[in-house]
Amino acid sequence: MSFQKIALIGNPNTGKTSVFNRLTGLNQHVGNFPGVTVDKKIGKLKSENGSIEIIDLPGTYSIYPHSNDEKVVFDVLNNATHPDHPEALLVVIDASNLERNLLLFTQVYDLNIPVMLILNMSDVAYRAGREFNHEAFQKRFPGVPVIETNARVGLGIDKIIATIKNGFTITDFRPVIENYTLKLAIDPTSQSEETAERYKAIQALIPAIVNFKTSANKKIKVNRLDRILVHPIWGYLIFTVMLLLLFQLIFSIASYPMDLIDAVFSKLSDWFTDILPAGIFTDLISQGIIPGLGGVVIFIPQIALLFLFLGILEETGYMARVVFIMDKLMRPFGLNGKSVVPLLSSAACAIPGIMATRTISSWKERLITIMVAPLMSCSARIPVYTLLIGLVIPQQTVLGFFNLQGLVLFSLYALGLVSALLVSLVMKWIIQSKETSVLMLELPEFKAPRWGNVFINLLEKIKVFVFDAGKVILAVSIILWAMASFGPGDRIEMAVQQIEKPNTTNADSLAIYEQQISSIKLENSYMGIIGKTIEPVIKPIGYDWKIGISLLTSFAAREVFVGSMATIYSVHDDGDTNLGLLEKMRNEKWSDGKPVYSTATGISLMVFYVYAMQCMATLAIVKRETKSWKWPIIQVLYMGALAYLASFTVFHLFS
Amino acid sequence: MKKTLADVSIGELVKVNALIPSPVSSKLLEMGLYIGQEVEILFKAPFGDPIAVNVGGYVLSLRLNEADLIVVE
């Protein structure tokens, strides 16, 4: 008798993930549980007669749900017709904390589903003077195999595999709590009564199944590290240093692979343009699909580095301490200590930031964090800020030693952060939720990271981004390309013919001609037409249609604004100093002779970029994480409205 | 006024006496805070909230408003 489908269940921090990773290795993928936002991790265990599917159920202390997402475990186990209902369960418990862990085991046992008990970290328990009495346990729970493991080093995993292959089933079923059915226990009062009764039963059980070599000692000595990490000064200081390290990692190290990816994809584009016959199909490949794919791949270095770093912090137990010291500060804003790292990571890039909100157990707090994360100024805004600051903010010193340009850049970042917190505050009142906000977080002991877990988790994040969000990003890139490449009828051809081709072989003149062609093509494309059409709408915030076009094209990614401006002004995008572009922009005049890029317009545009949701990749990941288009649409609308109002205000303040 | 876990100082060993009924009572219970459980506050976050509590051999962090639902003796 062998199983086809089994599930892993256990408390958080028991090493359940390690067991799962040891059993399935890289043979795992992420799927959906219907109706909830938690991901379903499924792995395959190879055996002689086919493979056995293993579902990694979310870590939980009890099978009773306290949130919509926690309901998954309850539904899967309670409903025998549920598509994920397992034939057998592996309960992973922390052997050094039997009492609390046995609660979940006895709940599962009472369901009378074949169950195996995995005593992980039994070495720690042994050192603490406790030894598991297998004989006594078998007497009380016949037919429940018990396997002691140390999943960290892979000890005992082969025994688990052999036992799964042999099959097991409860014999002589005697429930811990009589007349126990999950259905009855759905109301909180009877749940509490039942849990209390269960703990009594466990307390009676423990002396029988555990041999205490020394007297039971539950005293905990506070770790010296904890004294430092939660210290009012050192704690925050160390966290700040960690953040600086994180940003250093993302900004400086990630830029190398990112530049490389950029170069490879633009080479690939050129190569396709060269080998394929000129035409729409070639343009689709070289200007639509390849840059679109590049736009997906370019995020991988940042996601990988961020999750490498966060994985280490999580595995060592440091992250729980960060949550502990930040919780009080975040609570007034409807957020949670767990929101801090996702929000601050968003200052590098909102995509990994939003993916990092998975650990927030309260749906409302997680949603608010996701909704405000893109307000944090990300690295893609830097080229836009740099161009605009160079354009309208003079290079001068204020208040003795502050560089005005630097001060403006700092203010833009501060504006993003403050707005994120204020919007959270508003959303706290708007979003209705029956869930009570709780922290109740276990502070695990400090450990060395398990690299296998860090690596597998990182791979999963990249896979989720590339395969789930990637589809949307690619589709939108192609749409944006088509809108910028085609115009109604022969409008583009007619416009191009207006420009006289220079009768010369001078490379410079030809380059200028090419730039003029690109500019006129964009101006007469659908994108250009929309940009012109919206001019009356954006004029009150100080923008002309050329800015309008760039606002639209930068939906692909914010930094596209700079390249798009360069195209419109027919200058070579040197991607660095922008000197040519700055000069052209400075000379741009409205029809009444006033310069377009006044200080007011420049500042209005910077503020617009602080607020506006101009990043399809972020929207794609928000859709992925909230499993609905509702939230990304709301995000576009509220951030757009904020952008318009704020830009309108500053434009009139500075005019 | 009943003494709750929120009133206990660091290092003082107390026993859970009752849980004040609330939406989180069953969660507190599941985390091991049943009647008779011995608890001790190990340390506190910088603003005195949340607190880190030894619950039968593991460290649980609780917000003060959660600790205030736990009557101790």
What is the domain-level CATH number for residue B67? Answer: 2.30.30.90
**Highest-scoring range by mean pLDDT, A22-31, A133-142, A435-444, A491-500:** A133-142
Residue to substitute from A441, A445, A446, A447, interface B, most B β-carbons within 10 A: A441
The CA distances from residue A509 to A51, A277, A501, A513, A514, in Å, are: 67, 26, 9, 6, 9
A500: number of Cβ within 10 Å? 8
Q: How many CB pairs under 8 A join A and B?
A: 118
What is the pLDDT at residue A575?
57
% pLDDT > 90, chain A: 53
Sort out which chain B residues have CB atoms less than 8 A from A61's CB and list them.
Answer: 30-31
Identify all chain B residues contacting A224, using CB atoms and an 8 Å cutoff: none
When CB atoms are compared, the residue of B40, B47, B60 closest to A328 is B47
B28 CB neighbours in chain A (<8 A) are 440
- Contact between chains at B24 and A222 (C-beta distance less than 8 A): no
B60 vs A192, A236, A442: nearest CB: A442
| Pair of tokens at residue A199 | 């703990």
- Tell which residue, A470, A638, A476, A624, has the closest CA to residue A554: A476
Read off the pLDDT band of A338 (50, 70, 90).
very high
Residues from chain B that touch A62, judged by Cβ atoms under 8 A, are 26, 30
pLDDT band at A489 (very low <50, low <70, confident <90, very high): confident
Contact A222 B63 (CB under 8 A): no
Domain that holds residue B13: 5-72
Lowest mean pLDDT among A195-204, A392-401, B15-24: A392-401
Confidence band (pLDDT; 50, 70, 90) for A574?
Answer: low
Subunit contact B30:A441, Cβ cutoff 8 A:
no
**What residue in B sits closest to A337 (Cα-Cα)?**
B50
Least confident of A285-289, A440-444, A508-512, A571-575: A571-575
Q: Write out chain A residues lying below 8 Å of B25, CB-based.
A: 188, 192
With CB atoms and an 8 Å threshold, state whether A436 touches B47. Answer: no
Instruction: Work out the pLDDT band at A569, boundaries 50, 70, 90.
Output: confident
- Least confidently predicted of A50-64, A122-136, A172-186: A172-186
* Partner-chain residue, chosen from B27, B45, B56, that has the shortest CB–CB distance to A66: B27
What is the distance in angstroms between the Cα of A98 and the nearest Cα belonging to chain B?
10
Q: How far is CA A235 from CA A82, A266, A308, A454, A458, in A?
A: 46, 45, 22, 24, 27
Residue A518 pLDDT level (bands cut at 50, 70, 90) = confident
Task: Pick from A438, A445, A446 the residue to mutate for testing the B interface (most B CBs within 10 Å).
Answer: A438
Q: Check whether the bond before B21 is cis (ω within 30° of 0).
A: no
C-alpha angle A146/A147/A153, rounded to 5°?
Answer: 160
Which residue of A222, A235, A439 is in closest CB contact with B66? Answer: A439
DSSP secondary structure code for residue A595 in this structure: B
Q: Could you give the number of structural domains in chain B?
A: 1
Report d(CA A417, CA B73) in Å as an integer.
Answer: 44
Phi and psi of A2, rounded to 5°? -125, 155
Confidence of residue A186 (pLDDT cuts 50, 70, 90): low
Q: CB count, 10 Å around CB of A546?
A: 22
Q: What is the mean pLDDT of chain A?
A: 89
Among A56-60, A373-377, A436-440, B59-63, the range scoring the smallest mean pLDDT is: A436-440
Q: What is the structure's pLDDT at A567?
A: 84
| DSSP 8-state code for residue B31 | T
Q: Which residues of B touch A201 (CB under 8 A)?
A: none
For A443, which of B61, B63, B66 is closest by C-beta distance?
A: B61
Poorest-pLDDT segment among A30-44, A132-146, A353-367, A638-652: A30-44
Give the pLDDT band of residue A257 (cuts 50, 70, 90). Answer: very high
Q: Quick one: pLDDT at residue A217?
A: 64
Confidence of residue A379 (pLDDT cuts 50, 70, 90): confident
Share of chain A above pLDDT 70, in %: 97
Closest listed residue to residue A319, CA positions, set A301, A336, A298, A295: A336
Choice among A121-130, A221-230, A599-608 with the minimum mean pLDDT? A121-130
- The residue among A438 and A617 whose pLDDT is bigger is A617
Chain A residues in contact with B23 (beta carbon < 8 A)? 188, 436
Q: Which of A443, A445, A446, A447 to mutate to test the interface with B (most CBs of B within 10 A)?
A: A443
Q: With beta carbons less than 8 A apart as the criterion, state whether A9 and A89 touch.
A: yes
Given a cut of 80, is residue A1 above it in pLDDT?
no
Q: Which chain B positions have a beta carbon within 8 Å of A320's beta carbon?
A: 61
Considering only CB atoms, which chain B residues are within 8 Å of A337? 50
Q: Angle formed by the axes of helices A491-498 and A507-524, to 10°? A: 150
Nearest CA in chain B to A11: B31
Residues from chain A that touch B57, judged by Cβ atoms under 8 A, are 96-97, 99, 218, 220
Distance CA B55, CA A627 (A): 37
Q: Measure B17 CA to nearest chain A CA, in Å.
A: 13
| Sequence-separated (6 or more) residues with CB below 8 Å from residue A46 | A27
What is the CA angle A435-A438-A440, rounded to 5? 140
- Give the whole-angstrom CA distance, residue A354 versus residue A335: 14
CB A453 within 8 A of CB A18: yes
Reported as a single tens digit per residue, the pLDDT across B24-34 is 888 999 999 99
Question: Looking at beta carbons, which residues of chain B come within 8 Å of A444?
Answer: 59
Of residues B43, B46, B55, nearest to A226 (C-beta): B43
Calculate how close chain B gets to A623, using CA atoms only, in Å.
30
Please tell me the predicted confidence (pLDDT) of residue A566: 85
Mean pLDDT across A462-482: 90
Mean pLDDT, range A542-566, rounded to an integer: 89
Under 8 Å between Cβ of A543 and A533:
no
Measure B27 CA to nearest chain A CA, in Å. Answer: 7
Report the C-alpha gap between B57 and A98 in whole angstroms: 10
pLDDT at A85 over 70: yes
Per-residue pLDDT for A182 more than 60? no
Question: A218 and B46 in contact by Cβ < 8 A?
Answer: no
| Residue A213 DSSP class | S
Interface test with A, best of B27, B39, B65 (most A CBs within 10 A): B27
Confidence band for A517, pLDDT divided at 50, 70 and 90 = confident
Per-residue pLDDT tens digits for A527-549: 999 999 999 999 999 999 999 99
Sequence-distant (≥ 6) Cβ neighbours of residue A31 within 8 angstroms: A39, A40, A41, A42
Contacts of B69 in chain A (CB under 8 A): none
Q: Do B29 and A195 touch (CB under 8 A)?
A: yes
B63/A196 CB distance under 8 A: no
Contact A93, A10 (CB under 8 A): yes
Q: Do A196 and B26 touch (CB under 8 A)?
A: no
Over residues A349-371, the pLDDT tens digits come to 999 999 999 888 888 999 999 99
Query: Directed axis angle between helix A616-626 and helix A630-654, to 10°?
Result: 140
Q: What is the pLDDT of residue A559?
A: 87
